[in-house]
Amino acid sequence: MALYVKAAEILDKAEKKQGALKTLVYDSKFENIKPLFALVLETQKFSSVLEEIIVSSKLLKQTKMRMNLAKVLVFDLLIGQGLKCGGAWKTMMIKHRARLQSVLARMKVKQKVSKNEDLLPASVKQVLAENLPRYVRVNTVKTTVEDAVDYLKRDGFSYLGQASRLEDLTLKEKYFVMDMHLPELLVFPPNTDFHDHFLYKAGHIILQDKASCLPAYLLNPPAGAHIIDACAAPGNKTSHLAAIMKNKGKLFAFDLDAKRLSTMATLLLRSGVTCHQLANQDFLKVDPDSPQFKDVEYVLLDPSCSGSGMVCLRDDASSADQEKVKARLAALACFQLRCLNHGLKFPRLKRLVYSTCSIHSQENEGVVAACLQENPGFRLVNLLSQWPERGLEPLTQCLRANPAKTRTHGFFVALLEKHNGAGRKKQEPLVQISDPPVTISEAVNEAEKQEPAVQISAQEATPPIPSTRRKRPAASETEDKQTPAADQADGTPSKKRKRKKKKKKKKKKKVETVETVETVKTVE
C-alpha cells in the first residue's frame, strides 16, 4: 500500500505546483522509483477520466478516501495491471469494482469508443502525439554553457549547435542542441533522463521547461539589483534570477507554504545561490514602503493558477464540474489581480513580469487588462518579436506558449514597465528652452549693428512696452490738477473746483479784451 500512498502524495504536490512529476518522484527517495513513476504518470494522464468515474460512482463518499488516493487505486484496478496491494484496501476496492467497471463501460458507450485511451481529452492526446523535448537549463552560477556542452559530449552525447527553427528541436537519441531563443537552455530528445546524472546532482544543470525559463529571462535584472520573487517555491525561477544577476545583489523570495520553502532552500543550496533571502510569508502582507525594500526595482510574479497549461495537470473537467471550474477560475483571477496590483506598489519598481502556467484568458489577458486599467502609470513591453505565439487581442505584446506552436507546456508571460514620466516628483517641461530669452535692449542693439535695406529708427524697431510706472506730470499740471485724495483733503468737491477754474479763465479773457480796446482807442 506504500506505493499508492506515495503516489497520491506526489500528485497532491504536483497540483500545488511544488514541482514537475519526475522531479517529485525522484526527490521522494522511494525504494522502487520506476513503478512509482509509471503509476504517477499514467494516473495523471487519465486524471479527468478517473475523476469522472469516481464522482459518478460516489466512491469517495462510501470509502472516505482522498481523491488522488482513489485515482491511483482505480487506475490500477480498471486500466493498469491490477492492484499491487493486499489486506483491507484490496478487499474494499474489489467490493466496488463492479460498479466502477459499469461506469467506465457507460462512458465508452456514450462517447462511442472501445479503448480506454480513446477516452482521453483531445488536449492530452495532442501532447502525447507531439512528445515534448527535454529542456535542460545550464546553471551559470556554477558553470558555463561551454563547459556543460563539453562534459556532455565526453559523456556520449552529440552536439548539433544552436537551433534555428522549431523543427530542429525534433532530435534522435543522444543528440542535443542549444535553444534558438535562450542561449543557456539545451534541448534533448523526449524522456532523456538526467536525475542520476552528475551534472544534475552537482547543481550544474536544472531540469526546467523552456516556457518556465521565460519570466526570469525576459525580466533580465542586472547584477547587483534588488529583486522580489513573490510566489517563489519550488525555486527554479529563483535560481534562474540569481544566475542572471550573477549571484550579486538581493533576491527576496516569499512563499506561504513552509514545506515548499524548505524544498526550495535545498534546491538553492545545490544550485550555489547565495544572494537570496527566503521568507515564509504571504506576499500580499509584505509592506512595499518598508525600508528593507526601498531599492527593489524588479519583481517576478508567478502566482497560484489552475495549472491548465501543464501536460500533467490538464483540467479538462466533465460537464458536471464545469460550474466548479468556472468558480475556481474566478477566484484564482481575483487573487492573481490582487497580487499583481500589490506588486506594482513598490516605490522604485521599474519592471514586473507576470506569468502563469494556464491556458485560460481569464487568468492571463483578463488579469493584465484589469491591472493596466487600475495602474495607468504602467504599460506592456513588446516581447520577443520572433516568438510564434502571441497574447490574445489586443494584448499582443504578451507571449503565449503551447505544445503545438512552441514545443513547450502551456504558458503565459507579460512584462509591465513603469512609464518614463511615472513616479517623478517634478515633471519636466514639454518644450526644452536651450537659450535664455533676449531682452528688448539687446534686440535693439543687435538691430543697430545690422544694415537693413530700409533705415528705421530704434524707436520704430522696438515695439511699445506697456509700462507699470506712472508718468510723472509736469510742474504746471501739478498746480492745476489734483488727485481725488487731495480734493477730499481740502473739503472741496472736484466738480465745483472745475467750475471755479472755468469762471476764472472767462474773467481773464474779458479783462484782456477790454485792455486791447482801450489800447486801440489811445492809438487812434
d(CA 348, CA 514): 97
All three cell numbers of 253: 523570495
Cβ(363)–Cβ(356) below 8 Å: yes
Residue 282 among known ligand-binding residues: yes
d(CA 410, CA 308): 7
Question: What's phi and psi for 202, nearest 5 deg?
Answer: -85, -5
Cβ(222)–Cβ(256) below 8 Å: no
Buried b (16+ CB within 10 A) or exposed e, 320-339: ebeeebeeebeebbebbbeb
Measured in whole angstroms, how far is the alpha carbon of residue 64 from the centre of its chain?
A: 41
Q: Residue 489 to residues 340, 476, 478, 492, 497: CA-CA distances in angstroms?
A: 76, 20, 16, 8, 13
Residue 435 among known ligand-binding residues: no
Is there a catalytic annotation at residue 357?
A: yes
d(CA 227, CA 220): 11
Cβ(282)–Cβ(304) below 8 Å: no
d(CA 91, CA 95): 6
Residue 234 among known ligand-binding residues: yes
CB atoms within 10 A of CB 58: 12
Helix, strand, coil shares of the chain as percentages rounded to 5?
50, 10, 40
Q: Quickly list DSSP for 135-151.
A: EEEE-TTT--HHHHHHH
Q: Name 47's Cβ contacts closer than 8 Å, sequence gap at least 6.
A: 71, 314
d(CA 190, CA 207): 12
The answer, yes or no, to whether the previous bond of 466 is cis (omega within 30 of 0) is: no
Residue from 373, 409, 28 nearest 195 by CA: 28
Residues 42, 44, 45: CA angle, nearest 5 degrees: 65
- For the CA atoms of 80, 81, 84, 85, the dihedral, rounded to the nearest 10 degrees, stands at 70
Residue 255 among known ligand-binding residues: yes
Residue 420 among known ligand-binding residues: no
Candidate list 213, 305, 357, 371, residue with the active-site label: 357
d(CA 232, CA 468): 69
Question: What's phi and psi for 198, nearest 5 deg?
Answer: -60, -45
Question: What's phi and psi for 419, nearest 5 deg?
Answer: -60, 155
Residue 236 among known ligand-binding residues: yes
Q: Name 272's Cβ contacts closer than 8 Å, sequence gap at least 6.
A: 139, 141, 142, 203, 247
Residue 237 among known ligand-binding residues: yes
**What residue numbers does the annotated binding site cover?**
231-237, 255, 282, 302
Active-site positions read 357
**What residue numbers does the annotated binding site for S-adenosyl-L-methionine cover?**
231-237, 255, 282, 302
